[in-house]
Amino acid sequence: MEEIRVLSASGQIGSGFMESSFARGISLKPHVIACDGGSTDAGPYHLGSGKPHFSRAGVKRDMRLMMLGRDQLKVPLIIGSCGFAGGDAGVDWMVDITLEIAREEGLSFRLATIRSEQDKTYLKKRLHEGRIVPLDPAPPISEEIIDRSAHIVGMMGHAPIAAAIEEGADVILCGRATDTSLFASLPLLRGANEGLAWHAAKILECGTACTVIRKRPDSIMAWIRDDHFDIEPMDLDSQCSPQSVASHTMYENGDPFRIVEPDGTIDCHACRYEALDHRKVRVHGSQFHRAERTTIKLEGAESVGHQAIIIGGIREPYLIRQLDSWLENMKSRFAARVQEIFGGRIGPDQYHIHTRVYGRDGVMGKLEPLVDQVGHEVCLLITVTAPDEESCDAISRTLAHFALHYPIPEWNGLISGLAFPMAPNHLNKGEVFRYNLNHILTPDNPFEMFRTEFKEI
């Protein structure tokens, strides 16, 4: 097999990379350039709303450099999980940016879009066939859950991407895709060892997250050969070590040696990590075990209403000492006020109030080991979730004032127990979502759930 060079521009498009690093990567003549565009890390909002995570300006900056580099080398450029969640809206958003850059720079290429948003009728059919099962600990699903979903995507593997490359695509914009599939597609198409191709892709997908000291998101390259792959950050001041590369193999995985993909499992039990110098690492022994059937992960999000937040600080020691009972009593008494406002039209099961106490256990909640070590002040982050924007606004406006003056037994008369850092003291977040699908579907083939279109630019 010929040496295959794969350049990862950054861990995520829109998060940036140094132009000097990327330019060095281009000078080393990679056979493919790729960059991930999404994740579930930021929660269900982006899938539910169809709105991107990073700014258009930041994504356009990164995409322009990658498109110019691709045009210089005439190699494929692959972007995965467009718009962060990988829905059709995210792909359309990324297409618009790509076409704008092409016009401004006078670029010509063959564009492929691979959409991963799923048809609900198709999913219901597969559900009745017993082809959709939950990933632990997700519960079983029903037609009602599918219908409630704002958007559902399937996470594609390498096959649709490799097919687009075979059809002559120069720029490939993918819907939801596994991070690794973006980087493994071309090496696998060219006959690379499957274990090495997939393992190298795992190290590349987060950019310089596998380095010893990560200064910032940046570019990194892999050289995939017959019996090993090498990994090197493109910034000459950055370093990889055997430990840092091995550690990233375990990153975001329940098993430190096995990484499940749609078509099989990466097996790293026999891997050896060798320092070539103080910056580069060589990896031997990666294996890949093909699955009998391709499985595609489903991600879905549904609306849970509208939400507002209230931020307030408390420095009163009497109040801090009885904070839990104060919050509980206030919430209970406030329910009567909600009934007054809406005349019984909104019951206690139709809205939700949740409070995080920062300075005590706001980050770790019930897992906080130092819950009794409370300082002299705390911050309350109160979220109000209600069925619609109007009722959410009414409840949160009233709650902020209600909490401000809610009394304590040690004080007679009016108190002002909260300090609000901003005005107005509540912020409307808009519609909010929750994940409702974390399941796998077994299709007839790895292509049937994805739609590829080509366009000459």
Q: Say if residue 1's pLDDT is above 80.
A: no
Residues listed for the chain: 457
Largest CA distance in the chain: 83
Q: Which residues contact 104 (CB under 8 A, 6 or more apart)?
A: none
pLDDT tens digits for 353-363? Answer: 999 999 999 99
256 pLDDT band (50/70/90 cuts)?
Answer: confident
391 pLDDT band (50/70/90 cuts)?
Answer: very high
pTM, 2 dp: 0.93
Question: Which token pair is 318?
Answer: 């009497």
pLDDT tens digits for 76-87? Answer: 999 999 999 999
In which region does residue 360 sit, left (phi positive, over 0), alpha (psi from -120 to 50) or beta (all else)? alpha
**What is the average per-residue pLDDT within 116-129?**
98
pLDDT of residue 2: 80
Report which of 70, 77, 80 is spatially closest to residue 29, judged by C-alpha positions. Answer: 70
Can you name the residues that pair with 102 across neighbouring β-strands? none
Q: Token pair 């009016």 is at which residue?
A: 414
Report the relative pairing of strands 77-80 and 32-36 from DSSP bridges: parallel
What is the three-class DSSP state of 436?
strand
Report the relative pairing of strands 171-174 and 77-80 from DSSP bridges: parallel
